[in-house]
Amino acid sequence: MEKLFLNILIVLAPVLLQSVFGERWRYAKSPLVMGLLYGIASCLCLLFSYRDLNLYWDLRYVPMIIAAIYVGPVAGVINYVMIIMTRTYLGGDALWFGYLSMTLGFLIPFLASFKIKTLTGTARIKAAILVSLGPLLVMLAILLSYSAYAHEPFQFKLMPAVIVFGILLILGTWFSAMLQEINEEHTKMKVQIQKAEKMKTLGELAASIAHEVRNPLTVVKGFLQLMRPSEIGKNQQYLTIAMEELERAETIISDYLNFSKPKLTKLESFSFSDLLTNISILLTPMAMKNAVELTCHLEDNIYIYSDRGQLQQALVNVIKNAIEATQANGEVKVSSMRLVGEVQIIISDNGKGMSKEQLSRIGHLFYSTKDVGTGLGTAVTIRIIESMNGKIVYESKEGVGTTVTITLPLKQN
């Protein structure tokens, strides 16, 4: 019992070291280094194990499970090799049974790591605990097999020890996985805080520049409007082009101002399906021009209380991006449905899609997947939805398409 509790402290040591020094240690994400660190923990568990029936009872599998699931298969393999080397050093009559036990105990978390890596939070902790039952069952099977091989009757007095061993194995896996999730959540929160501070600074800078540039543009636009009626021929054509470019510049400046601090100035109650229908009518000519089919499946009698103009701008940006990302003869689908206390809008296309790296940068200022684009439209859309206490989620796969899910609160009666 004392050695098993010592094993628990050993298996927690790598996670605690990663928690304390992870942010300042550049090798904290290295599969090789972390595999060695967790391998050392497994080896120490084996060295400080208790021995009965020529078998070693310890928590060597806990660091292996955590390494394979949270660091990766490479770290799991390194851990496995180090355990095999340590077990070979210790020797014993049941060495080959030990090899078999460790190999089977390794294959379970190794194969499971490819599936579990897509999970997060509580789901991943539960999966790690479930995986820890594999080595436990393997140990029990090896114990029974060795008793039969050595022609020794199974000693039922060992059952309490087996049960305690299983409880400590599950407890060690649960606690290690929970600490890993806390570490990852802390890291994500720090990144989000840094991103928020960066966006705040960029927003203030953008607002300042936009405000200063808008005034001279207004003056130039006014003089051009006065000049245009008196000009004929090429000059009038040039003035028209200049006016259009000024209007485009004003649109970009307005986007910067909205990004800096979207203002919900005109709050009203309105039909959400009517708003989406109007947007569909507005963007249908653009879809037809790009040979893209725009379809809507809208649920009626959904009312929200918000700024209609700002919401329209956000939805137009998303649907417009979907149309532009879809090749000829493609399709963009817009649907809405009522949920409990909120409405969900799903905008999907079967266009070129995005890679994981591109998807992670969506909403960043000055980043766009278009050949010509500032990324302002998407950034403004996200800020508007968030200012309405809503959520927007992007999902995409290269060559398959993109799905944008927007959730907004319904009007409270």
pLDDT digits over 277-302, tens only?
A: 888 888 998 899 889 999 988 888 88
Bridge-based pairing of strands 331-339 and 293-297 is parallel
- Which H helix or E strand runs over 40? helix 31-47
Query: What pLDDT, on a 0 to 100 scale, did the predictor assign at position 344?
Result: 92
Give the model's confidence band at 339: pLDDT under 50 very low, under 70 low, under 90 confident, else very high: confident
Query: How far, in Å, are 40, 74, 99, 110, 131 from residue 66 at the CA level?
Result: 13, 12, 20, 10, 10
Q: What is the residue-wise DSSP string for 93-114? A: TTHHHHHHHHHHHHHHHHHHHH
With the C-alpha atoms ordered 275, 281, 285, 288, is the resulting torsion angle positive or negative?
Answer: positive
Query: How far, in Å, are 86, 170, 233, 390 from residue 409 at the CA level?
Result: 58, 41, 54, 7
Helices (H), 270-375: 272-289, 308-325, 356-360
CB 388 within 8 A of CB 396: no
Query: What pLDDT, on a 0 to 100 scale, did the predictor assign at position 334?
Result: 92
The pair of structure tokens assigned to 366 is 């000055």
CB 275 within 8 A of CB 311: yes
- Please say if the pLDDT value at position 53 is more than 60: no
- Please say if the pLDDT value at position 346 is more than 90: yes
Provide the whole-model pTM: 0.53
φ/ψ of residue 325, rounded to 5: -85, -5
- Please say if the pLDDT value at position 326 is more than 80: yes
Give the model's confidence band at 305: pLDDT under 50 very low, under 70 low, under 90 confident, else very high: confident
Give the model's confidence band at 164: pLDDT under 50 very low, under 70 low, under 90 confident, else very high: confident
Give the model's confidence band at 52: pLDDT under 50 very low, under 70 low, under 90 confident, else very high: low
CA distance 162 to 106: 20
The pair of structure tokens assigned to 182 is 């806390």
Q: Where are the beta strands (DSSP E) in 187-329?
A: 267-271, 293-297, 303-307
Query: What pLDDT, on a 0 to 100 scale, did the predictor assign at position 332?
Result: 92
Query: What pLDDT, on a 0 to 100 scale, did the predictor assign at position 404?
Result: 93
Q: How many CB atoms neighbour CB 354 within 10 A?
A: 21
- Residue 358, burial from CB neighbour count under 10 angstroms (0-12, 13-18, 19+): middle
